[in-house]
Amino acid sequence: MNFPSYVLRRLLLMIPTFFGITVLCFGVFQIAPGGPVETYLAKVRFAGGAAGGGKGGGESSHSAGSASSKSVTDEVVEELKKRYNFDKPIYMRYWLWLKDLAQLEFGYSHTQGQPVLEVIKSKLPVSIIFGVTSFFLTYLVCIPLGIFKALKDGSRFDVTSSGVLFVMYSVPEFMLAILLIHFLAGGQYLELFPIQGLHSLDSDSWPFWQRIVDVIWHMFLPMVCYMISGFTTLTLLMKNSIIEQVKQDYVRSALARGVSQRKAILKHALRNAILPIATGFGGIILAFFGGSMLIETIFNLDGIGKLLYQSTIERDYPVVMAEIAIVAVLGQVALLLSDLLYRVIDPRIDFSSRD
């Protein structure tokens, strides 16, 4: 199979994959208890009960609560069901959602009071800043670090840095976030960094350079948590990939000709060693729509991850399904981009045996 045919096949395979992801998620959310209709009814009944309690309690409270429940049941429930298509079978709801999605119509957020697309657009800047920055910083640090560890394989630096990396890998990102806030931002020990947000409250009146420093100051702790999960994996993958290439005949031949180990690695082994790392290059697409649910929630960052968390808790199905659909498409495009980068790095790669 030649390369264009492979790309076409991958594009066609995206269609059933997309349907599989969205059908499963749509079905789970639709049958889960506590949908938007129930959420709205609970709010109305709570408001009615509170209003009745304020009038004097007892019989007045009971009457107000009963009237509110009856009013909601008789006049509002059916309209709410029609608005969210809950008066139709689940397969019809999914079909209507697909039709709207094909027209880039993502629906209306009942918690945000705005079209879903506008809600997502408003949250994108924060996630883009963290996603793209952490992506590039991770690769810019981990690739040179992996190369240096390969050059110093078995040395004290290699052993010590590997121990540090494994400790970092063993700490969950949400736990690290809590520890960093507790020791470095909470004020109980040190107060070196802000606890939450992306900028200071009065930063709008500051000079441009000072606002940039302020944003970096606020980003530091969340960025550490963003990067820690992939830092160890990428560094050790780079190191082990180079060591594997050093064992190959072409590198041994270069060493036998008197080429130094550093030159043999950087000039001969590095290009082939970078191939396993290229699998993650396609993640730059997801980095633009990235967002860690836990990190953004803990640090109160108004991004895509926090939006997904809040929308799931509040059963805001249009927002949740829109994010799932976008990530499903971007994830598959990222995998295809990784394959394209494979071909760019090494044109000899044959896709005829690949799925």
Overall average pLDDT of the 146-152 stretch: 89
Show me where the domains of the chain are located.
3-113, 117-345
- The pLDDT, as a whole number, for residue 194 is 86
Q: Which CATH superfamily is domain 117-345 in?
A: MetI-like (1.10.3720.10)
| Closest CA relative to residue 106, chosen from 351, 345, 340, 316 | 316
C-alpha span between 93 and 90 (Å, rounded): 5
Amino acid (one-letter) located at 83: R
Locate the DSSP E strands across the chain.
108-109, 114-115
Amino acid (one-letter) located at 333: V
Q: Is this prediction's pTM over 0.95?
A: no
Q: How far is CA 284 from CA 49, 159, 213, 342, in A?
A: 50, 31, 25, 15
**CA-derived radius of gyration, the chain:** 27
Residues contacting 67, CB < 8 A, separation 6+: 48
C-alpha span between 41 and 47 (Å, rounded): 10
**106: helix, strand or coil:** coil
C-alpha span between 104 and 118 (Å, rounded): 12
C-alpha span between 86 and 49 (Å, rounded): 26
Residue 269 · residue 203 · CB < 8 Å: no
Looking at the DSSP assignment, which residues form a beta bridge with residue 331? none
C-alpha span between 335 and 87 (Å, rounded): 39
> Which of these ranges, 90-94, 126-130, 306-310, 348-352, has the smallest mean pLDDT?
348-352
Q: pLDDT grade, residue 228 (50/70/90)?
A: confident
Q: Mean pLDDT score of the chain, rounded to an integer? A: 81
Q: Which two tokens stand for residue 281?
A: 């290059």
